[in-house]
């Protein structure tokens, strides 16, 4: 590559947890870019040598303080901008404890949000549509 242009980083693999319990969805308000301050599914990047399931269990625990078991794949999305390219696989996850979530370092706050109130939050782009398309919340 010439002209001093920086090479774009390759796509990064990430996982998100769709954790539903007692008609509420576990959501995290992001503390960092991209989409800082907006609500998202808890999750994060897969580290080298880690399986997707192990990464998601780790990320859910780090971000929410709740240990979960990862279930079936619900769907996937890509988020692409000039600064990043994420390929995100979202899985159903079942909590092993029913304690209140506690926000980790990369979350401003985490909360159980009633399913019928999820669409009222400032969600990351495309999340409401994704959740509606996969039957997690009612159609927007």
Q: For residue 140, what pLDDT band results from cuts at 50, 70 and 90? A: low
Integer Cα distance of 57 and 66 in angstroms: 9
Residue 109 included in any domain: yes
Assigned domain for 118 exists: yes
Q: Which of 59, 109, 129, 133 is catalytic?
A: 109
What is the mean predicted confidence (pLDDT) over 29-49?
94
CATH of the domain at 66: 3.90.79.10
Give pLDDT, residue 4.
46
Note if 109 is an active site residue: yes
Percent of the chain with pLDDT over 70: 94
Helix (H, G, I), strand (E, B) or coil at 76: strand
User: Which residues constitute the domain of residue 125?
Assistant: 12-133
The number of beta carbons lying within 10 Å of the beta carbon of residue 54 is 14
45 lies in some domain: yes
> Is 42 among the domain residues?
yes
- Long-range CB contacts (within 8 A, 24+) of 136-140: 136/18, 136/20, 136/25, 136/74, 137/25
Quote the distance between the C-alpha of residue 73 and its chain's center: 13
Choose among 85, 55, 80, 71: nearest CA to 21.
71
CA 42 to chain centroid, in Å, comes to 4
Res 2 pLDDT > 70: no
Is 7 a member of any domain?
no
Query: Does residue 139 sit within a domain?
Result: no
Residue 17 lies in a domain: yes
Which pTM was predicted?
0.90
Confidence at residue 43, expressed as pLDDT on a 0 to 100 scale: 96
**In the chain, how many domains are there?**
1
């Amino acid at each position: 590559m010439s002209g001093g242009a920086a090479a774009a980083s390759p796509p990064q693999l990430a996982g998100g947890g769709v954790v539903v319990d007692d008609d509420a969805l576990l959501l995290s308000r992001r503390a960092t870019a991209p989409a800082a301050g907006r609500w998202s599914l808890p999750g994060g990047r897969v580290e080298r040598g880690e399986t997707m399931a192990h990464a998601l269990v780790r990320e859910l625990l780090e971000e929410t303080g709740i240990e979960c078991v990862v279930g079936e794949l619900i769907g996937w999305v890509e988020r692409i901008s000039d600064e990043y390219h994420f390929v995100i696989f979202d899985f159903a996850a079942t909590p092993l404890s029913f304690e209140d979530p506690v926000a980790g370092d990369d979350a401003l706050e985490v909360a159980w949000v009633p399913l019928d109130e999820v669409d009222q939050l400032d969600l990351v782009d495309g999340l409401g549509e994704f959740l509606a398309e996969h039957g997690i919340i009612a159609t927007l």
